[in-house]
Structures are given as C-alpha cells and as structure tokens.
C-alpha cells in the first residue's frame, strides 16, 4: 500500500507539472486577419500573463477574466478555472526595402496567407506555479476554399483534433515554460513537396508555396538532398522538422529565418551568380539556432554566409577555383570594414565576416592536421545559443588555441 500511495503521489506531481494551452487561429472569420483565441482549459497553474505589446499589431483584447492595460503591457490574470483571451491581428506587415517602393514580410490575399506566428501572439512574461510547464497546441480554422496549412511544428493526427478545427500542431518547445506558435506559417491553396532527409530519415523537410507563385519546390529539395550529408557532418544535431515557405511580390525580396522555418522570395536563385546561396544561409540560421549580443551579430551572419558557399564547395557543387573567386569578391565587397563590432550591419560586414570564418577554418585545419575545423567551434556555440565575442574566442581556444591569431589578423579585439 505504501508503494502504491507513493506511486499515485508521483503520478499526481508529474501531472501537475504540465498545463494545457490551446491557441486557435481563425483565418475564416475576418478576411486579412487572424482572430486568435488563447484558451487555458485549467488555468490553476497560471497566475499572470504579462504581454508586451510594444511592437504588436494585435488589437481588441477581450476576456471574461481580469484584463488590465498598462501602456505597452497587457496583464491577464486567468484565475483558477478555464480561461480564454481573444484578440485579432492583421496579417499584412510592411518591411523596408531598397528594391521596391512597398514590400511586405507577411501577406494575405484571396487564395493564401503567409506570416509568422510570432506576430500573431505577442511575447509574454509568465508567472506560474513552480515547476509548471505549458503543453501547447495550435489549431486552425480555415476558409472553405483553403485546403492546407503548413508550419514548422509536428502535425496532430486528424482523429485527435477538436470539432470544427481544420488542422492542428503540437508546439513542442521544452526550453520555454510558455510556448508561443513561433515560426513561419503558410495557409491556403498550396503546392508542397516533402522529403525525409539524413541518416535514418531524421529530418522532415517541407517546401511550400502558393499555387499562384512561380517557385521551384523540387529544385530546393534536390539541392538540400545533395547538401544534407555535409550538413550532418558539420552540425551533427539537426532539427526533426523544417519548413521552407516562398512566394513572390509584393513580399520582401530576400530570405528570413524563424526558428523551425524560413522564408525565401520566389525570385531568389537557389545559388547566386557569386556562388553563395541565400537558401543555405537562412537554413544555417535555422539549424544552428545561434543568436548574438548586439555588438556581435557579425558572428551569426558571418557563420551563415560562410556555410552558404563552403557547404557547396564540400559537396562538389563549387570547384576550389570558383570558391576562391567568391572569396576575392567578398574581400572587395568588405573593403576596409574591419571593425565588425562597431560597424552597422551591412553586406560589407557580412562579406568580411564570412571571409574571417573561412580563414579561421583554414587555420584550424592546418594547426590540427585536419582533425578539427570551424565546425567544431560552431557546434560549441550551438550549445550556448546566445553568444558574444568572448564565447567565440573561448570556443576557438578549446579547439585550436594557435588559431586565435586569425582574430589579430582581422583586428577583432
């Protein structure tokens, strides 16, 4: 009896460590908007959700529970029982562009919508019972003519979906106590190509674009299939699922990564004329998950730009001669911009930082007789997540101390 009582107690404690959070994205109710409902079936574990609305387009927050607006903060106290917060968010979001008079990084039209989930649920500080962790799900209600929705999250089986829900996804983010539905989302009349890549088909990759968009989905999948062995060797730890979304104008003509997914404008080539790939650049951001402090964003961008061409070299897509021409081109573009930490983010800084990581890679390989490379340094940074210059130097110190001389060559102090 004592054993059974203890076991029941343990089960109860384990059950109390998780509380359900259900997000409902209704794209059918109001054209051009997402009507969001955040539901807590059992709100006993949550004392307060403190939303930061400083950069949010969302409006009309309503709840039967305590709701208080304080400047850019929205304080929601759910109470002990079932609770729900409802609001709406416009989908279209303008983005500054040198190439177009007006561009967007989120878009809606009659046949599809493309946006980031981050923009539909403002970031929040959570006050919850000690040890409580959210088990979050994202559900969609789509217009009748929209058959599909894709996210970077794992889909929930149709038989497990609530009534009147089109599709659902499990927001599995164990590093956070309260998971938001972050990452790219695309819904509507879509064309999607899927494949399972890597050893043991570990990573599910989906390439999705509206039917009305001119995007070579298979070109992207073929390129990734060719590069994946090199990515496995370089990064070792790869995500279980990655979503690549694309569309054309008036969306911003570039690439943007977002956690488990990335966006690439349909007009961008898979490989640019200089031999680098925007697709691989953004994919490197997704896979490594490295972020930097304000002064050291050059580290993150330099790593991504380095791999955007170096992985093509390793896979045989670029000859050494072509790769050397790319390095020379990047050196010209970088010009005299050597102080990466003081200069503003620019293509010149990105080019110079990419060449720095190439020089670091060559130095490490030479100093270790090819037993190590910059890959070993990057994997150390991947474990840290958010990094700065001291972290980078420490990682190099642990792999090949003599290669710290490259920092002096590039005057990075």
- Which residue, 181, 197, 212, sits at the end of a domain? 181
CA-nearest of 302, 400, 299 to 355 is 302
Asked if residue 229 has pLDDT above 70, the reply is yes
Type and span of the H or E element at 155: strand 154-155
Peptide linkage before 250 cis (omega within 30 of 0): yes
Question: Is 152 in a helix, a strand, or coil?
Answer: coil
- Which residue, 181, 198, 216, sits at the end of a domain? 181
Asked if residue 3 has pLDDT above 50, the reply is no
Q: Do 299 and 176 belong to one domain? A: no
Work out the mean pLDDT of the chain and round it to a whole number.
93
Residue 229 is assigned to a structural domain of this protein: no
Residue 79 is assigned to a structural domain of this protein: yes
Give pLDDT tens digits for 35-63. 999 999 999 999 999 999 999 999 999 99
Residue 285 is assigned to a structural domain of this protein: yes
Q: Do 162 and 304 belong to one domain? A: no
CA 282 to chain centre: 9
The per-residue pLDDT for 337 is 61
Enter the pTM of the model: 0.93
Q: What CA–CA distance (Å, rounded) separates 58 from 181?
A: 15
- Which residue, 181, 199, 216, sits at the end of a domain? 181
Residue 191 is assigned to a structural domain of this protein: no
Residue 373 is assigned to a structural domain of this protein: yes
Asked if residue 264 has pLDDT above 90, the reply is yes
Looking at the structure of the chain, the number of domains it has is: 2
Q: What CA–CA distance (Å, rounded) separates 351 from 288?
A: 19
Q: What CA–CA distance (Å, rounded) separates 411 from 338?
A: 7
Q: Do 47 and 173 belong to one domain? A: yes
Residue 306 is assigned to a structural domain of this protein: yes
Q: Do 283 and 177 belong to one domain? A: no
Q: Do 34 and 174 belong to one domain? A: yes
CA-nearest of 329, 332, 333, 358 to 346 is 333
Q: What CA–CA distance (Å, rounded) separates 260 from 18?
A: 23
Residue 12 is assigned to a structural domain of this protein: no
**Can you give the residue range of the structural domain that contains 289?**
272-413
Determine how β-strand 241-245 pairs with β-strand 203-210. Answer: parallel
Q: What CA–CA distance (Å, rounded) separates 341 from 81?
A: 50
Q: What is the CATH number of the domain that holds 28?
A: 2.60.40
């Amino acid at each position: 009896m004592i054993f059974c009582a203890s076991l029941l107690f343990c089960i109860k404690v384990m059950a109390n460590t998780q509380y359900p959070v259900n997000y409902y994205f209704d794209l059918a109710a109001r054209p051009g908007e997402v009507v969001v409902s955040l539901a807590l079936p059992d709100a006993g574990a949550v004392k307060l959700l403190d939303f930061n609305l400083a950069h949010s387009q969302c409006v009309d927050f309503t709840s039967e529970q305590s709701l208080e607006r304080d400047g850019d903060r929205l304080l929601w106290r759910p109470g002990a029982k079932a609770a729900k917060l409802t609001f709406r968010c416009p989908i279209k979001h303008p983005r500054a562009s040198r190439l177009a008079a007006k561009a967007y990084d989120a878009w809606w039209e009659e046949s599809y919508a493309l946006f980031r989930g981050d923009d539909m649920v403002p970031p929040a500080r959570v006050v919850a019972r000690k040890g409580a962790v959210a088990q979050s799900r994202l559900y969609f209600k789509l217009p009748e003519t929209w058959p599909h929705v894709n996210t970077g999250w794992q889909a929930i089986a149709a038989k497990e979906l609530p009534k009147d829900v089109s599709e659902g996804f499990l927001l599995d983010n164990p590093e956070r106590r309260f998971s938001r539905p972050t990452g790219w989302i695309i819904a509507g009349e879509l064309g999607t190509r899927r494949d399972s890549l890597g050893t043991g088909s570990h990573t599910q990759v989906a390439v999705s674009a509206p039917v009305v968009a001119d995007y070579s989905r298979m070109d992207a999948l073929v390129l990734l299939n060719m590069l994946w062995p090199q990515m496995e060797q370089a990064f070792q730890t790869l995500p279980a699922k990655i979503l690549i979304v694309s569309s054309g104008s008036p969306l911003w003509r570039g690439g943007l990564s977002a956690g488990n997914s990335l966006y690439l404008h349909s007009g961008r080539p898979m490989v640019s004329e200089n031999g680098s790939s925007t697709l691989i650049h953004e994919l490197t951001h997704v896979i490594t998950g490295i972020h930097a402090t304000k002064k050291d964003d050059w580290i993150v961008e330099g790593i991504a730009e380095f791999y955007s061409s170096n992985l093509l070299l390793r896979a045989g897509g670029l000859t050494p001669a072509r790769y050397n021409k790319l390095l020379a081109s990047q050196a010209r573009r970088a010009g005299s911009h050597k102080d990466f930490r003081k200069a503003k983010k620019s293509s010149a800084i990105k080019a110079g930082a990419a060449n720095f990581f190439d020089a670091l890679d060559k130095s490490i390989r030479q100093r270790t007789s090819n037993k190590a490379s910059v890959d070993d340094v990057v994997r150390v940074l991947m474990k840290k997540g958010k990094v700065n210059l001291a972290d980078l130097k420490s990682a190099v110190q642990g792999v090949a101390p003599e290669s710290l001389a490259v920092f002096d060559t590039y005057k990075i102090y």
